[in-house]
Amino acid sequence: MDINVLKTTAQAMVAPSKGILAADESTKTIQKRLEKIGVQSNPETNLAYRQMLFTTLGVEEFISGVILYDETIRQSIDGQPVPQYLQSKGILPGIKVDKGAVDMANFPGEKITEGLDGLRDRLAEYKELGAKFAKWRAVIAIGAGIPSDTCIESNAESLAQYAVLCQEQDIVPIVEPEVLMDGGHDLARCQEVTKKTLKAVFAKLTAHKAILEGMILKPNMVISGKESTVKAIASEIAKATVETFKEVVPAEVPGIVFLSGGQSPDEATENLAEINKIGGPWQLSYSYGRALQDEALTTWVGKEESVPTAQQAFYDRAQKVSQARSIKSV
Ligand code: 13P
């Protein structure tokens, strides 16, 4: 393990004005996204869509890294393997390494993420293929009587085991404990669950001797549930988010990159701007999937002639999110 490589990569992932594009939708998720625009998902159409995003001129001003899915990291753009293509643009290739969240035995409504078995060997292969960082997503649902301590602890343990296996091979782990927006809970409940989850995650990371300077945290914002009748506004979301993180996220962590988690592109942009107005000891940036892609996806609709306008939509959104991330604290 080379701590300097880890630190340098982690810092590059959250370099000023930049954040990450999450384009690591699983086979099932990309199928859902493409279906919505009337395109049948297969390896070729998946690549056509992602190629439209990756080849957007100048987007590297705003995108430091792209999280790829196993299918994509093995594909090529104009005869060049995707990781090498991205690197030639100055974008770091990353890879989703978890195998998805499945129902947790004995805990109805809760999930545990799989993928630790054989992970060391898979990471070695991804490193060969050019991956500089990785992602593992754990999901924590809020509901009546959930999340349970067992669910939080088990997912935190897996995240920590994943993180140190990545670091062993100089791959920066993105540690993603996502408290879901689904449900009618309010901001205070999300804050309570997020705090508890992050506490557990950092306790496990410390127990497993993870290098905090060589990782990136990818959390949810502290936000009211999608079905909540009391919708928190951006300044409240920002205040609760930064307040919570200051309590539980060590300052050694170089960057926090938020997921968008079902927020609209405008909401995810506005909330990030408000968060940066408050600021903290870490870089506060983005690793958005839907919020960066939605407008480009619905403009593209699978048509070759729509590529330029879809790329413009992607560029414009990436620029707006980058501007939000660059606002200085006041
Ligand atoms: P969203 O921004 O669409 O939530 O996706 C980010 C991600 O990578 C979730 O794992």
Instruction: Give the 3-state secondary structure of 82-115.
Output: HHHHHHHCCCEEEEECCCCEEECCCCCCCEEECC
pLDDT tens profile 207-255: 999 999 999 999 999 999 999 999 999 999 999 999 999 999 999 999 9
C-alpha 160/C-alpha 207 separation (Å) is 8
Contact 148, 192 (CB under 8 A): no
Residue 35: Cβ within 10 Å count: 11
Phi, psi of 71 (to 5 degrees): -60, -45
Is residue 176 annotated as a catalytic residue, yes or no?
yes
- Mean pLDDT value of segment 121-143: 98
* pLDDT of res. 41: 98
15 burial level (CB within 10 Å; 0-12, 13-18, 19+) = middle
Alpha carbon of 100 to ligand 1 centroid (Å): 13
Residue 180 Cβ inside 6 Å of ligand 1? The answer reads: no
C-alpha 173/C-alpha 159 separation (Å) is 9
Residue 49 Cβ inside 6 Å of ligand 1? The answer reads: no
Q: Provide the pLDDT confidence category of residue 29 given band limits of 50, 70 and 90.
A: very high
Query: Is it the case that residue 304 has pLDDT exceeding 80?
Result: yes
* pLDDT of res. 20: 98
**What are the angstrom distances between the C-alpha of 24 and each of 68, 70, 134, 143, 193?**
4, 8, 11, 27, 26
Q: Provide the pLDDT confidence category of residue 329 given band limits of 50, 70 and 90.
A: confident
Atom 9, ligand 1: residue with shortest CA distance: 259
C-alpha 263/C-alpha 234 separation (Å) is 12
Alpha carbon of 137 to ligand 1 centroid (Å): 9
Domains of the chain with bracketed CATH: 3-325 (3.20.20.70)
Atom 1, ligand 1: residue with shortest CA distance: 289
Percent of the chain with pLDDT over 70: 100
Alpha carbon of 178 to ligand 1 centroid (Å): 9
Q: Which of 216, 226, 259, 264 to mutate to test the pocket of ligand 1 (most atoms within 8 A of CB)?
A: 259
Is residue 328 annotated as a catalytic residue, yes or no?
no
Q: How many CA atoms lie within 13 A of 117 on its CB side?
A: 3
Task: Note if the pTM is more than 0.95.
Answer: yes
Contact 38, 81 (CB under 8 A): no
- Mean pLDDT value of segment 163-170: 99
Residue 20 Cβ inside 6 Å of ligand 1? The answer reads: no
Query: 176, 178, 274, 295: which is the annotated catalytic residue?
Result: 176
* pLDDT of res. 330: 73
Q: Measured at the alpha carbon of residue 196, what is the angle toward residues 105 and 146, in degrees to the nearest 5?
A: 40
* pLDDT of res. 224: 97
pLDDT tens profile 257-281: 999 999 999 999 999 999 999 999 9
CA-only gyration radius of the chain, Å: 18
Query: Is it the case that residue 186 has pLDDT exceeding 80?
Result: yes
